[in-house]
Amino acid sequence: MPAKTEIFGRGQPGGLFVFTDEGRTTGDIFFVHSGTGTDGAGYGGNPNAPCATLDYAIGLCTASKGDRVYVMPGHAETIVGAAGVALDVAGVSVFGLGVGRNRPVFTFTTSTAASFDISAANCQVSGLVFVNGIDSQTAMVNVTAAGVTVKDCEFDVANASTQAVLGVLTNASASRFTLANCHIHGTTDAGTTAAVRIVGGSDIIVRDNRIYGAYTTSIGGIENVTTAVAGLTIEGNYVHNQTASSTKAIVVVSTTNAFIVNNRLGILSGTAPITAAAGWVAHNYYAAAVGVTASALV
């Protein structure tokens, strides 16, 4: 009997025969590239014959089977409406390949409702670049399902002409959401309320992100609003609110059970960069002025 291995060969109807490493996933694997791809039968299962759009590739996936979508270097899409890309198949992981702005770039234009929505449970998105291109955009990425992870992504939320109101927005269905190792940044032009807004849910983690921009003076880069979170960890983030006279970097609902530790914060006024009345807050350092200034522990 031949030795067993994780390498598995499979054919795609109308397409090419491919080998995959099933030590990483036993689901199907799809590829996307806007320059070389086609949204049609026989495409997507091989990097030499990819799909043209991410949303089409997601539609080829099967729920809860561990399917993966690899978005190839140099891919570019423009999102012009609400849920212009909808990650609506449970258990799918989307991986952006490449380095810097050679990673897949998704630019939002035309409508303030333009968005990338994650509405299916247990999905993952990593390695994508999101760029705001419409003023007063409601939110770039909406998360409305449980068990979602967004990591290693870049959010360009604001420039001199256009600003998104929010980078990431969740709702009460987004329990066990993790936002990790993302770079969320914008210019000092006013228009962005917060980089991340969390509304309800439970067991949510926001960690190791770099968040810089001009956020609402009394809100900051990370905000929990309206509904308390049952278990919110905010750890290891760098948050700089560059709005003149800004007093806050992190604000959560007064009854949220929050664990806020080891963050590095920048504000431009005041001595209380964190609001978390029911939270456990420790080992966070902040500075309240630009330049080389002494930091304080909170």
Question: Is 10 a residue whose pLDDT tops 60?
Answer: no
For the chain, give the percent of residues with pLDDT over 70: 91
Any idea what the Cα angle at residue 267 is, between residues 263 and 273, rounded to 5°?
55
Structure confidence at residue 7 as a pLDDT band (50, 70, 90): very low
Q: Give the span between the Cα atoms of 237 and 195, in whole angstroms.
A: 12
Length of the chain: 298
Separation between Cα atoms, residue 77 and residue 142, nearest integer Å: 17
**CA-CA distances (angstroms) from residue 262 to 8, 28, 78, 181, 247?**
44, 39, 37, 15, 19
- Over residues 198-219, mean pLDDT: 98
Residue 18 has pLDDT above 70, yes or no: no
With beta carbons less than 8 A apart as the criterion, state whether 46 and 13 touch.
no
* Mean pLDDT, residues 250-278 taken together: 97
Mean pLDDT, range 42-48, rounded to an integer: 96
Is there a contact between 72 and 101 (Cβ–Cβ < 8 Å)? no
Q: Quick one: how many helices (H) and strands (E) in the chain?
A: 1, 30
| Mean predicted confidence (pLDDT) in 183-204 | 98
Task: With a cut of 60, say whether residue 14 has pLDDT above it.
Answer: no
